[in-house]
Chains A and B, each alone.
Chain A
């Protein structure tokens, strides 16, 4: 009855191919040339060092939010607040700079470290609130994490419209250079090929965070507890595991990872706090976590694929096409689950 190891990847691969085929049919129906469209998407996302570098920039926040969601989902905690936690992380990292927690003369290492701590702490706080509400009062975390998104947006707006508004615009001043994550283009003097490459060190951190999250989930005692609770809370209780404590801790870990994503985005790309720091990375993270089957290591390639699709969205008219493909891929992958769970057999109804 056990399904062989190769079945799951094969089914996923076939699902993606089918999704692309369906996308092609839709493109053809609306009068486009699917082959040219796909070629263009591939070119716009992966067709050269420059664009691939931009793809990685887009993939970086997705790795953070995808990992954040995967960690929480593994315990069946439906954190759909990665977006708000991402914003809170950005806010926490900004406070470090703008409230003068580190001086303007501090070294880059100290500044960035303090920002990362600020981002992680603020993100984790945004996970702690739904965590404690669920653990102590059994409040549904789907509702609380969703609602906290809007509070996070409003909180960021309060700072950028008011306190830190730069000359009346809805953004803060640009951070000092010490608060910028190093980019590949910083190395252009030694390696001319790096000129203009925007990929920043946040990508490396994202990959490291994903690897650590994978280690926690699949190789640590804590991860074993998380997986046990996720599969059967009653068995976990019977094995002497405290579910309330883990609910709070796991949501804090998830929020902290998403918060690091927010820090990475403003330190690596935007260099200031503003209203539009995310086109919904936190929500895309939900999709990515599912597509990666809640495995943080698989989150990395899936995020790069999605980063490419987001980037191609700018190049292609209508811009909705890559989104459509995203949607169809997700649909097909979820539908393909049925082949992993059940053995399909044609049977005649017996009278």
Chain B
């Protein structure tokens, strides 16, 4: 069978990172081709190149036997290639039909949309997409909004549909509907690229699977019938060279953090945590493995007082702190390295000093009655800038001027210098370069030595393996395994829902 699309030797670099390195990808007509990989493996980047959003530094593309060179997504759509991104691009206050027509040359002048409404409904029926053309977007569920995005592409005559993590926002029954739609599109002769990191889904829907890891293809065009979830998980997660880090042995003490049946909802008020039981002892690092979006963020937030639990109980040092305020969480010695450094962890336009004192300004020596002792603040900032090697022209520099690694050092300096009893470290090394990663990991181990209880949430399995004294795995808001051995294949399966907790207790 001839290939519809051939991408050859694609290399795409961003400042400081290589997102894709010498990647080949082939798509046959009428197939669902899954692109599998961890977050940051380069799946979305590769497909954004195919959709005309990025221009690769190296490599070539052939579409239907003709060389293709895209300057914009419009060029890609002209050749029948369209991409639906994770974050939808819809106008909330407009109707379905208006959103689909947006950016097209029709209707020419008068907004007589009745005719178009019928047309939309007709195309929808054809592919099993139930929509209400005159409904406003804000009235629709996420699943329905996704259908509008698909319809937008179909209306533009797209033959190749790229879907970036389409199931991450959907409820289970909506996923079934989506799969039904995808199959009927293939029946109509369309081709689909399905980006995912969920093994179950990929095994269910894909005709062929290509696995990416760290920007490179680990294996291309796998037939799902000839592989297993365990094999895919190993291909996806793999093993990296370990750093030369003196990990040492842990010496766990008393229970510092205890969660008992904790449940919570996410920002969309959907269940995000379902009955979490978890203990962290002093002098121990507990690593939480999991694919992003399985409740890890919410877990960090309920412990640090930034999100309320709907059920369950949280204790720190034996005291009930369920639904305490962020303020009292800070006061009792809970430090928090937040996931989002720029939007939560720092105030980007304020100086390093102002960012360093964020959690200590209420108490002496920084507070003198109602006034802030600026000299004391500057002394503290100068001291910590030195101690944590924050590279910046001065302590008055706004943190938006700093590199990611240095912003993280500012946060670490602030959180770790208070000798916390409990440290919640969310993705502490994400996006940092190798040297910075090692520095952060060293600091975490030092905290463990000095007796802090550490909850480490990371998408980097290697990091969890290196640092953790105990590993738990989260999947869809539950802890599906507690105290598993660092086996990438097995943890990979647990992370992607390919293996239930009971099965893991029986030893696979």
Chain A residues numbered 212-231 whose CB sits less than 8 Å from any CB in chain B: 219-224, 227-228, 231
> A177: CB under 8 A from chain B?
no
> A240: CB under 8 A from chain B?
yes
* Besides A220-B371, A228-B358, 18 new A-B residue pairs in contact (Cβ under 8 A), listed by A number: A1-B401, A2-B394, A2-B401, A223-B372, A224-B354, A224-B357, A224-B361, A231-B349, A231-B350, A237-B306, A238-B304, A238-B338, A239-B326, A239-B330, A239-B359, A240-B326, A240-B331, A241-B327
5 closest cross-chain pairs (CB), A and B: A240-B327, A231-B347, A232-B347, A240-B326, A239-B358
B371 touching A221 by the CB < 8 A rule? Answer: yes
Chain B residues numbered 447-466 whose CB sits less than 8 Å from any CB in chain A: none
A234 touching B350 by the CB < 8 A rule? Answer: no
Chain A residues numbered 235-274 whose CB sits less than 8 Å from any CB in chain B: 235-242
B326 touching A228 by the CB < 8 A rule? Answer: no
A219 touching B372 by the CB < 8 A rule? Answer: yes
Chain B residues numbered 298-346 whose CB sits less than 8 Å from any CB in chain A: 304-306, 325-331, 336, 338, 340, 343-346
> B393: CB under 8 A from chain A?
yes
CB distance from B398 to the nearest CB of A (A): 8
> B348: CB under 8 A from chain A?
yes
* A2, B394: Cα distance in complex, Å: 9
CB distance from A12 to the nearest CB of B (A): 18
* A241, B361: Cα distance in complex, Å: 11
B397 touching A232 by the CB < 8 A rule? Answer: no
Q: By DSSP majority rule, is chain A's interface helix, strand, loop, or mixed?
A: helix
Residues of B within 8 A of A223 (CB): 372
A238 touching B372 by the CB < 8 A rule? Answer: no
CB distance from B387 to the nearest CB of A (A): 21
* With contact pairs A221-B370, A240-B325 given, residues A228 and B359 touching in the complex (Cβ less than 8 Å): no
B372 touching A235 by the CB < 8 A rule? Answer: no
* A239, B357: Cα distance in complex, Å: 10
B349 touching A219 by the CB < 8 A rule? Answer: no
Chain A interface residues (CB < 8 Å from chain B): 1-2, 219-224, 227-228, 231-232, 234-242
B347 touching A221 by the CB < 8 A rule? Answer: no
CB distance from A82 to the nearest CB of B (A): 24
Residues of A within 8 A of B398 (CB): 2
Residue among A1, A220, A224, A228 with the highest chain B CB neighbour number at 10 A: A224
Q: Please give the number of chain B residues whose Cβ is less than 8 angstroms from any Cβ of chain A in the complex.
A: 37
Residues of B within 8 A of A1 (CB): 401
CB distance from B111 to the nearest CB of A (A): 29
Residues of B within 8 A of A239 (CB): 326, 330, 358-359
B347 touching A237 by the CB < 8 A rule? Answer: no
> B374: CB under 8 A from chain A?
yes
B200-225 CB contact bits vs A (8 Å, 1 = yes)? 00000000000000000000000000
* A229, B347: Cα distance in complex, Å: 9
CB distance from B487 to the nearest CB of A (A): 35
Residue among B343, B347, B348, B350 with the highest chain A CB neighbour number at 10 A: B347
* With contact pairs A231-B347, A235-B346 given, residues A219 and B371 touching in the complex (Cβ less than 8 Å): yes
Chain B residue with Cβ nearest A240: B327
> B64: CB under 8 A from chain A?
no
* A231, B344: Cα distance in complex, Å: 11
CB distance from A221 to the nearest CB of B (A): 5
A-B contact pairs, 9 of them (CB 8 A): A221-B372, A224-B361, A224-B372, A228-B358, A231-B347, A232-B343, A234-B340, A235-B345, A239-B326
Q: Which of A228, A238, A242 contacts B350 (CB 8 A)?
A: A228
A221 touching B344 by the CB < 8 A rule? Answer: no
* A239, B334: Cα distance in complex, Å: 12
Residue among B336, B350, B374 with the highest chain A CB neighbour number at 10 A: B350
Residue among B325, B348, B362, B397 with the highest chain A CB neighbour number at 10 A: B362
A235 touching B326 by the CB < 8 A rule? Answer: no
Chain A residue with Cβ nearest B368: A221
B372 touching A232 by the CB < 8 A rule? Answer: no
CB distance from A312 to the nearest CB of B (A): 37
Residues of A within 8 A of B354 (CB): 224, 227-228
Q: Which of A219, A221, A227, A231 contacts B362 (CB 8 A)?
A: A221
Chain A residue with Cβ nearest B346: A235
> B140: CB under 8 A from chain A?
no
Q: Which of B304, B348, B393 contacts A2 (CB 8 A)?
A: B393
Q: Which of B306, B328, B331, B371 contacts A238 (CB 8 A)?
A: B306
Residues of A within 8 A of B306 (CB): 237-238
> B170: CB under 8 A from chain A?
no
Residues of B within 8 A of A235 (CB): 343-347, 358
A238 touching B344 by the CB < 8 A rule? Answer: yes
B387-411 CB contact bits vs A (8 Å, 1 = yes)? 0000001100110010000000000
> B62: CB under 8 A from chain A?
no
* A221, B370: Cα distance in complex, Å: 6
Chain A residue with Cβ nearest B326: A240
CB distance from A102 to the nearest CB of B (A): 31
* A242, B346: Cα distance in complex, Å: 17
Residues of B within 8 A of A231 (CB): 347-350
Chain A residue with Cβ nearest B343: A234
A238 touching B397 by the CB < 8 A rule? Answer: no
Chain B residue with Cβ nearest A215: B371
B342-384 CB contact bits vs A (8 Å, 1 = yes)? 0111111110001001110110000100111010000000000
Residues of B within 8 A of A222 (CB): 370
* A237, B345: Cα distance in complex, Å: 10
B325 touching A2 by the CB < 8 A rule? Answer: no
